[in-house]
Amino acid sequence: MYDDGVSVPLTLLGLLERESSHGYDLKRDYDTYFGRGRPLPFGQVYATLGRLARDGKVVISEVGPGVGPDRKRYVITEVGATEVDSWLTTPVEPEPHQQTVLFAKVVLAMMLGRPAEEYLDLQRGAHLQRMRELTEVKRTGDLVDALLADHGLFHLEADLRWIELTAARLDALAKSVRP
């Protein structure tokens, strides 16, 4: 699965723009929508909220009786809301992935006179196996699961197109990388 490096601080800020919240509730919502099997540790939630407060992006609106960090209710500030808006409206950097491991393997295999086509066949099999797993997630999961699985499926499909094209160009590639 591709990891686009979900920003925990920005995602928590986004959740706080929806409504002010306690740390516990933020963690629960994050895990439900964005964690996907990788729950956010409580320590990271509170450390992040602490940094956001220090930077003026959230404020603590109330501290209930008793002890413990869950007594604090966090509210997004104008600075925080501006940052969320800026993040949402700025396109993600398109990553061309021009130096992938697979690319390096193919070129090296050709340089060494090894069977690059077999490597590509193996990689195709591995990609399709992962695509089957994600398709099953889609078929059995909820819409949020399906959305995330689709993201992975389209990326894997792009890799497979590259694999097919490269397989068709191996003869030409061999001439260009071998002295």
- Residue ranges binding other proteins (CB under 8 A): 101, 121-122, 124-132, 134-135, 139, 153-154, 156-157, 160, 164, 168
What minimum distance in Å lies between the beta carbon of 55 and other proteins? Answer: 36
Integer Cα distance of 59 and 73 in angstroms: 8
Nearer Cβ to other proteins, position 4 or 121?
A: 121
Nearer Cβ to other proteins, position 97 or 130?
A: 130
Nearer Cβ to other proteins, position 83 or 159?
A: 159
What minimum distance in Å lies between the beta carbon of 125 and other proteins? Answer: 3
Nearer Cβ to other proteins, position 73 or 124?
A: 124
What minimum distance in Å lies between the beta carbon of 141 and other proteins? Answer: 13
